[in-house]
Amino acid sequence: MSPRGQLILIEGLDRSGKSTQSSILTAKFSKSKLLKFPDRTTKIGSIINEYLTDKSVQLSDQSAHLLFSANRWELNNEIIQLLNEGYFIILDRYIYSGIAYSLAKYEFSKRNANDSTVTSTVDEQIGDVNWLIGPDLGLPKPDLTLFLTLDLAELSNRKGWGEERYELQEFQTIVKKSFLRILPTDTDDSIEIVDVNNKNIEQVTKLIWDIVEKKGVNALTENPIKKVSI
């Protein structure tokens, strides 16, 4: 088989600059494609879009979690095919967003449940990382994952903040903790944390490209496509 393209994931909090950086990185490759998750253009993506933009839409946390994963599976074959055709695929969010946001919901509702004025049920599956990763097992695993992190104070000043479900400062603080808890940076050298505090777009672009080159994900590879596993 001829060499394949590589799968590069950019993760981060809302408004961390990951969409900007994902586009810039995509343009660095002559044969490339940017995929954004959730992909709101698919059947399942349209349900997710309603859920995110209309706060009156009710879904159990388990159902929402499974829909986000199903949305990735909708693109599974396309991702594999494009990689095999030599395309570099840049992902703007993927499996770690799936786990971190659901886990953050659990932590958030647990906090509120401790507050005696609020009655809330906390669903144990949503706090269980093994349950959360389950539906994603077997999806193509990124050859490189970059997590863009910055201080929450800087985040909340950025444009477009606060329009959708999840875009609350208190919630984002928990999301950040969840990401840092679940990303296996110690044992998996395909995952890197990129501190973007006090850096402009060009500086972050350079930081990212340096890592991409250092890890050798800037060129076609003979390595088989990896799969998400525990």
- Applying CB under 5 A, the residues found at the interface with Mg ion are 14
Between 66 and 211, whose beta carbon lies closer to ligand FDM?
66
Site for ligand FDM in 141-200 (CB under 6 A): 166
Closest distance to Mg ion from the beta carbon of 167 (Å): 6
Size of the site for ligand FDM (CB under 6 A): 10
Closest distance to ligand FDM from the beta carbon of 14 (Å): 5
Between 3 and 162, whose beta carbon lies closer to Mg ion?
162
Which of ligand FDM, Mg ion, none interacts with 97 (beta carbon under 5 to 8 A by kind)?
ligand FDM
Give the neighbor-by-neighbor strand order of the sheet with 191-195.
Answer: 32-36, 88-92, 7-12, 144-149, 191-195
CB contact set of 165 (below 8 Å; sequence gap of 6+):
51, 52, 53, 55
Between 14 and 143, whose beta carbon lies closer to ligand FDM?
14
The answer to whether 13 and 228 are in contact (CB under 8 A) is: no
Buried b (16+ CB within 10 A) or exposed e, 103-128: bbbbbbbeeeeeeeeeeeebbeebbe
Q: Which residues pair with 4 in a beta bridge?
A: 221
The answer to whether 102 and 22 are in contact (CB under 8 A) is: no
Closest distance to ligand FDM from the beta carbon of 216 (Å): 26
CB contact set of 73 (below 8 Å; sequence gap of 6+):
139
Q: Which residue stretch of 94-102, 182-190, 193-201, 215-223 sits at the interface with ligand FDM (rule: CB under 6 A)?
A: 94-102
List residues near ligand FDM by CB under 6 A: 14, 37-38, 52, 68, 93, 97-98, 101, 166
